[in-house]
């Protein structure tokens, strides 16, 4: 039993060391990982608990004196307790219950009887039988006189845990209060008081919560310091910035920051101070402390995610959407994938995709076009000034790093410590040696000076060197000059990359203008940032964009200035539209705001409905042509994604699978936040993979067949008459209760007349022969046109992939 208890204590200590509490949720009473899957194995996974169980079993087998229903060895109930606890901490709850039940059944007079009842209840809680555990523990407390404070505290704590699991926090609170008052173990006292404070917080009893946290803080070094730090954090969240003494509060936070004992928890302390400064509207200080918290990372992924999320939200509030997107990306890397919070943040991040994309396009193309419009002299002056700065900095950095390397020996320290600060295009890379192209350039030259040209192979130092020895400082300066002669510092290397072809410049201009237009709509519709929306659209109009963007931009500016209550600009754009675009739909809307009804022939909804009827009539070419016109006409309207999806479907019906796939991809990527864009993405991801196969199925596997007649474009006028004749023949042969016909579109210039309802390929072809070679009495119903039979499954493949020739003329291997 001595060895078994030692092994049990070692296993329990190992569990505590490996367990990480989540202080952002209510703590569990015990530091044990919850495993959803019930373990039924006979052997445990932890060797310490295995050993404890083995020793307990050996004690029972060798020393039990169970005679005539009575145990005469008073230590055996202790062995059973050890056996049950070892199984419990090894997450084998069913076998643990057996051990505790044995004590309750066979050792009714044992001094461990109440302890066994508590452990049985704990086990039932782990098995999600909380109601049963609460009932048994309450019954024990009412009927038994419990003298052991540890058992009393454990019983109340477990009732509280069961109520917490059931989300009955008001019922849990009184039991946790008793547990915190009766427990003797200071580590548990700190934990129970902290849980008590969390319960008060959830019940919005802030003053009582702070008193509970003060009890944790007062324990100081008597309990785990992590409880004290998190008690300070919880109190900080409850601080009243309107009534509280801010100077004292900041002084307390500063003391926590400067206390050497708090070094392992600086990430939490910095985050606390960042929250204080953010509440005080001192954003620059807040950002500094959130970044310090990030750098002081100590395995708390949740805190790290909150730091990044807070920085993302601060940048979002400042309309720095690209920076906000980067911080949201970092937030997601610190969250469990598909958790509720991960999904919420992921949705916010997706909403920024378009604005980041179009801001990048606008900024880059603006820059290129601005430089492209400079004269040759202006370009040379611009890039000479830029490269002169780079050259001076590069030489200074290279010489400084070389001198540092000289002091540290041949093994260059900068490989490990990083070079000097970077500038220009390398500024985003940090101080790592290889992030700075200027220092890398110098490093290559310096290596060749010291070692000569070497082959990339083992034992390269032993081969003959063309040049060896350490370069003196004059050589270092010469190397600096060599670095400065790199193409990186030559203005012409930049000037040569500037596009000059009018076709390329026109494309850049078109993309830039469309990006500004999209940004105006995104800021207006998605983020309600009307000032930014107006800025982007006003700037677009100064570029004299293509005609299709001008009128929608003016109309959106009219709406934006209306939201901003800018009467002057609202009137300006209204008059502009009515004067210069009097025949437009937008002018009609301004004159009669109620004209946007679906019954109005000028409304996009009416035209969409008319187009859909044409789609149902298989007029796919007309649908595609008209949707393209309407998409241009109604650019920026909510109807556009619907038109795009209708167009994609028409393309699929007309041109087949590959064209449909490409069109759907465009819709899903261009309008990701619209219902149509989401629908296109679902079809792309789930439906297309199910129909992408072009392999025809065997006719023996099918039970439904069709008889097919082909018609080309020059025969279109005869198709209706042919269908009528075919219907009459079917009626003559009395098959009209089973067979029916249809005219099906296949491709531009090709249609099918299809007989449906046949049950075999032989039967379909036989019916075709019967129609082609009728008996004398049915000669007026003769149909001599060529036909072929096809199963319904293969007909579907032919229509989807437009591969009729492959079906009719299969390749011979």
Q: pLDDT of 754-764, one tens digit each?
A: 999 998 888 88
Q: Distance between CA 301 and CA 296 in Å, rounded?
A: 12
Confidence of residue 424 (pLDDT cuts 50, 70, 90): very low
Of 109-113, 361-365, 606-610, give the lowest mean pLDDT range: 109-113
Question: Would you place residue 58 in the very low, low, confident or very high pLDDT band (cuts 50, 70, 90)?
Answer: very high
Instruction: Identify the band that residue 596 occupies on the pLDDT scale cut at 50, 70 and 90.
Output: very low
Return all residues near 584 (Cβ < 8 A) that are at least 6 apart.
Answer: 551, 577
- Clarify whether residues 734 and 767 are in a common domain: yes
Flag whether 370 is in a domain. Answer: no
Distance between CA atoms of residues 151 and 121, nearest Å:
12
Residue where a domain terminates, one of 83, 110, 137: 110
Distance in angstroms (rounded) separating the CA atoms of residues 530 and 564: 7
pLDDT at 453: 67
Contact 573, 557 (CB under 8 A): yes
Co-location of 491 and 527 in the same domain: no
User: How much is the pLDDT for 592?
Assistant: 75
Cα 594 to Cα 497: distance, rounded to the nearest angstrom: 53
Q: Sort 193 into a burial class: Cβ within 10 Å, 0-12 / 13-18 / 19+.
A: buried
Answer yes or no: do 720 and 749 share one domain.
yes
Give per-residue pLDDT as tens, 282-340.
999 999 999 999 999 988 899 999 999 999 989 888 878 888 988 999 999 998 888 88
What pLDDT is attached to residue 449? Answer: 61
Same domain (yes/no): 740, 800:
yes
3-state secondary structure of 755: strand
Alpha helices in 166-300 (DSSP H): 169-182, 186-202, 206-219, 225-237, 246-258, 266-279, 283-295
| Distance from C-alpha of 728 to C-alpha of 722, rounded to nearest angstrom | 10
Q: Is 469 left (phi over 0), alpha (psi -120 to 50) or beta?
A: left
Break the chain down into helix, strand, coil percent, rounded to 5.
70, 5, 25
Q: Is the pLDDT of residue 200 over 90?
A: yes
- The Cα–Cα gap between 627 and 650 comes to 10
For residues 352 and 222, the model is more confident at 222
DSSP letter, residue 523: I
C-alpha–C-alpha distance, residues 783 and 776, integer Å: 13
Confidence of residue 599 (pLDDT cuts 50, 70, 90): very low
- Is 264 inside a domain boundary? no
pLDDT at 483 over 70: no
Give dist(CA 746, CA 754) in Å, integer: 11
What's the pLDDT band for 192 if we cut at 50, 70, 90? very high
Which residue would you say has higher pLDDT here, 602 or 621? 621
Q: What are the b/e assignments for 241-274, b being 16+ CB within 10 Å? A: eeeeeeeebeebbeebeeeeebeebbbbbbbbbb
Can you give the pLDDT at residue 406? 55
Same structural domain, 721 and 680: no
How high is the pLDDT of residue 242? Answer: 87
Rounded Cα gap, residues 227 and 702, in angstroms: 70
- Least confident range from 28-42, 243-257, 545-559, 771-785: namely 28-42
Contact (Cβ atoms closer than 8 angstroms) between residue 545 and residue 581: no
pLDDT in tens, 496-505: 888 888 899 9
Which tokens is 575 given? 């008059």
Query: What was the pLDDT predicted at 11?
Result: 87
Q: Tell me if 360 is assigned to some domain.
A: no
Question: What percent of the chain has a predicted confidence (pLDDT) above 90?
Answer: 33
What H or E segment, with its residue span, contains residue 503?
Answer: helix 502-521
- Does residue 231 fall inside a structural domain? no
For the chain, the domain total comes to 5
Region 472-477 average pLDDT: 47
- Hunting for tokens 């970044």 — which residue is that? 291
Answer for the pair 753, 741: CB distance below 8 angstroms, yes or no: yes
Task: Determine the pLDDT at residue 460.
Answer: 66
How far lies 524's CA from each of 146, 316, 772, in Å?
A: 68, 15, 67
For residues 184-209, give the mean pLDDT. Answer: 92
Q: Does residue 431 register a pLDDT over 60? A: no
pLDDT at 741 (0 to 100):
93
- Rg (C-alpha) for the chain, rounded Å, is 40
Is residue 411 predicted with pLDDT exceeding 60?
no
Contacts of 804 (CB under 8 A, 6+ apart): 746, 798
Provide the pLDDT for residue 161. 93
Least confident residue range of 335-339, 392-396, 472-476, 679-683: 472-476
Q: Is residue 321 part of a domain?
A: no
225-237 and 186-202 helices, crossing angle to 10°: 20
Q: Which of 235, 242, 248 is nearest to 280 (CA)?
A: 242
Q: Model confidence at 418, in pLDDT bands (50, 70, 90)?
A: very low
Query: Residue 426: its pLDDT value, please?
Result: 40
Spatial contact of 643 and 670, defined as CB atoms under 8 Å apart: no
Instruction: Report the C-alpha gap between 293 and 286 in whole angstroms.
Output: 11
Contacts of 146 (CB under 8 A, 6+ apart): 114, 140, 152, 155
- Other CB atoms within a 10 A radius of the CB of residue 311 amount to 23
Under a CB-based contact definition with an 8 Å cutoff, are residues 216 and 231 in contact?
yes
Residues 687 and 712 in one domain: no
The percent of residues above 70 in pLDDT, for the chain, comes to 86
Same domain for 532 and 481 = no
The answer to whether residue 743 sits within a structural domain is: yes
Count CB-CB contacts under 10 A for residue 461. Answer: 8
Residues 380 and 491 in one domain: yes
Min mean pLDDT across 282-291, 386-395, 506-515, 594-603 is at 594-603
Residue 686 has pLDDT above 70, yes or no: yes
Beta-carbon contacts of 92 under 8 Å, excluding residues fewer than 6 positions away, are 39, 40, 41, 44
383 and 464: one domain? yes
List CB contacts of 769: < 8 A, sequence separation 6 or more.
Answer: none
Task: Please give the residue range of the domain that contains residue 758.
Answer: 699-808
On the question of pLDDT at 415 being above 80, the answer is no
Please say which residue of 458, 479, 495 terminates a domain: 495
Record the tokens describing residue 339, joined without a space. Answer: 């958790």
For residue 143, what pLDDT is reported? 83
Both tokens assigned to 47: 């060797």
29 with 161: CB under 8 angstroms? yes
Domain check: are 738 and 789 in the same one? Answer: yes
* pLDDT score recorded for residue 289: 93
Is-contact 19 31, C-beta < 8 A? yes
Interhelix angle for 225-237 vs 246-258, to 10°? Answer: 150
**Under 8 Å between Cβ of 429 and 385:** no
Phi, psi of 399 (to 5 degrees): -65, -40
Residue 438, pLDDT score: 57
Per-residue pLDDT, 468: 39
Number of CB atoms found within 10 A of residue 424's CB: 16
Q: 29: which DSSP letter?
A: S
- Quick check: 117 and 107 in contact, CB under 8 A? no
pLDDT of residue 476: 46
d(CA 576, CA 564): 19
Q: Terminal CA-to-CA distance of the chain, rounded, Å?
A: 78
Number of Cβ within 10 Å of residue 69's Cβ equals 6
Q: What is the CATH number of the domain that holds 530?
A: 1.25.40
Decide which of 691, 720, 740 is a domain's last residue. 691
φ/ψ of 241, rounded to 5, equals -75, -15
Q: Are residues 89 and 13 in the same domain?
A: yes
Contacting residues for 678 by C-beta, under 8 A, at least 6 apart: 668, 672
Residue 649 falls inside a structural domain: yes
Distance CA 792, CA 350 (A): 41
Q: Which residues lie closer than 8 Å to 306 by C-beta, 6 or more apart?
A: 271
471 closest CA partner among 479, 463, 482:
479
Whether the per-residue pLDDT at 471 is higher than 60: the answer is no
Does residue 779 sit within a domain? yes
Q: Are residues 591 and 609 in the same domain?
A: no
The two structure tokens encoding residue 431: 């101080």
- For residues 384-409, one letter each, b for 16 or more C-beta atoms within 10 angstroms of the residue's C-beta and e for the rest, the string is eeebeebbebbbebbbbbbeebbeee
Q: Please list, in sequence order, all residues whose beta carbon lies within 8 angstroms of the beta carbon of residue 194, skipping any fewer than 6 positions away.
A: 27, 212, 213, 216, 227, 230, 231, 234
Average pLDDT, the chain: 83
């Amino acid at each position: 039993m001595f060895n078994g208890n030692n092994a049990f204590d070692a296993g329990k200590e190992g569990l505590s060391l490996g367990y990480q509490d989540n202080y952002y949720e209510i703590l569990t009473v015990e530091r044990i990982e919850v495993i959803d899957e019930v373990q039924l194995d006979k052997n445990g996974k932890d060797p310490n608990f295995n050993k404890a169980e083995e020793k307990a079993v050996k004690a029972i087998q060798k020393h039990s004196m169970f005679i005539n229903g009575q145990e005469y060895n008073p230590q055996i109930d202790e062995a059973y307790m050890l056996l049950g606890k070892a199984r419990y901490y090894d997450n084998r709850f069913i076998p643990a219950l057996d051990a505790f039940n044995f004590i309750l059944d066979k050792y009714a007079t044992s001094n461990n009887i109440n302890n066994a009842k508590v452990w049985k209840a704990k086990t039932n809680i782990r098995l999600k039988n909380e109601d049963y555990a609460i009932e048994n523990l309450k019954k024990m407390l009412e009927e038994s006189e419990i003298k052991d404070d540890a058992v009393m505290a454990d019983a109340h704590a477990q009732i509280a845990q069961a109520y917490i699991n059931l989300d009955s926090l008001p019922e849990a609170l009184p039991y946790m209060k008793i547990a915190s008052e009766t427990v003797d173990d200071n580590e548990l006292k700190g934990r129970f008081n902290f849980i008590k404070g969390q319960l008060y917080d959830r019940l919005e009893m802030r003053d009582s919560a702070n008193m509970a946290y003060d009890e944790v803080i007062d324990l100081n070094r008597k309990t785990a310091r992590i409880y004290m730090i998190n008690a300070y954090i919880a109190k900080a969240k409850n601080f009243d910035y309107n009534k509280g003494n801010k100077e004292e509060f900041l002084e307390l936070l500063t003391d926590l920051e400067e206390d050497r004992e708090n070094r392992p928890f600086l990430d939490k302390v910095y985050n606390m101070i960042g929250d204080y400064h953010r509440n005080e509207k001192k954003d620059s200080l807040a950002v500094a402390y959130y970044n310090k918290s990030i750098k002081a990372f100590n395995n708390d992924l949740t805190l790290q995610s909150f730091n990044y999320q807070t920085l993302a939200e601060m940048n979002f509030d400042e309309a720095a959407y690209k920076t906000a997107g980067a911080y949201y990306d970092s937030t997601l890397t610190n969250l469990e994938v598909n958790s509720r919070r991960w999904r919420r943040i992921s949705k916010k991040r997706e909403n920024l995709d378009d604005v980041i994309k179009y801001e990048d396009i606008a900024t880059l193309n603006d820059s290129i076009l601005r430089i492209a419009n400079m004269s040759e002299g202006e370009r040379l002056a611009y890039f000479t000034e830029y490269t002169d700065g780079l050259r001076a900095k590069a030489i200074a950095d290279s010489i400084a790093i070389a001198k540092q390397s000289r002091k540290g020996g041949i093994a260059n320290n900068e490989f490990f410590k990083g070079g000097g600060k970077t500038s220009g295009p390398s500024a985003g890379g940090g101080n790592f040696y290889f992030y700075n192209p200027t220092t890398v350039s110098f490093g290559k030259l310096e290596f060749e000076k010291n070692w000569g040209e070497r082959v990339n192979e083992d034992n390269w130092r032993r081969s003959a060197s063309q040049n060896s020895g350490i370069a003196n400082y004059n050589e270092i300066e010469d190397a600096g000059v060599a670095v400065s002669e790199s193409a990186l510092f030559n203005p012409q290397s930049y000037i040569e990359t500037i596009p000059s072809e009018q076709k390329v410049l026109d494309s850049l201009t078109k993309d830039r203008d469309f990006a500004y237009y999209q940004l105006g709509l995104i800021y207006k519709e998605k983020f309600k940032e009307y000032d930014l929306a107006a800025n982007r659209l006003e700037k677009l109009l100064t570029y004299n964009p293509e005609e299709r963007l001008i009128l929608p931009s003016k109309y959106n500016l009219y709406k934006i200035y209306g939201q901003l209550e800018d009467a002057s600009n609202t009137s300006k754009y209204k008059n502009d539209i009515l004067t210069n675009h009097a025949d437009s739909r937008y002018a009609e809307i301004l004159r009669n705001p109620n004209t946007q009804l679906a019954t109005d022939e000028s409304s996009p909804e009416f035209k969409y409905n008319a187009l859909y009827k044409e789609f149902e009539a298989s007029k796919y070419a007309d649908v595609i042509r008209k949707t393209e016109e309407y998409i241009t006409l109604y650019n920026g309207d909510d109807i556009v994604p619907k038109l795009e999806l209708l167009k994609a479907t028409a393309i699929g019906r007309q041109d087949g699978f590959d064209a449909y796939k490409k069109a759907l991809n465009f819709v899903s990527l261009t309008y990701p936040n619209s219902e149509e864009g989401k629908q296109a993405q679902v079809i792309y991801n789930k439906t297309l993979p199910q129909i992408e196969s072009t392999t025809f199925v065997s006719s023996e596997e099918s039970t439904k067949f069709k008889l097919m007649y082909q018609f080309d474009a020059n025969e279109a006028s005869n198709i209706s008459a042919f269908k009528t004749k075919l219907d009459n023949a079917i009626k003559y042969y009395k098959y009209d209760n089973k067979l029916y016909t249809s005219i099906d579109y296949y491709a531009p210039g090709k249609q099918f007349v299809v007989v449906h309802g046949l049950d075999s390929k032989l039967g379909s072809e036989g019916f075709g022969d019967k129609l082609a070679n009728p008996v004398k009495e049915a000669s007026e119903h003769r149909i001599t046109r060529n036909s072929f039979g096809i199963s319904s499954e293969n007909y579907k493949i032919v229509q989807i992939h437009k591969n009729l020739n492959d079906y009719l003329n299969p390749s011979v291997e």
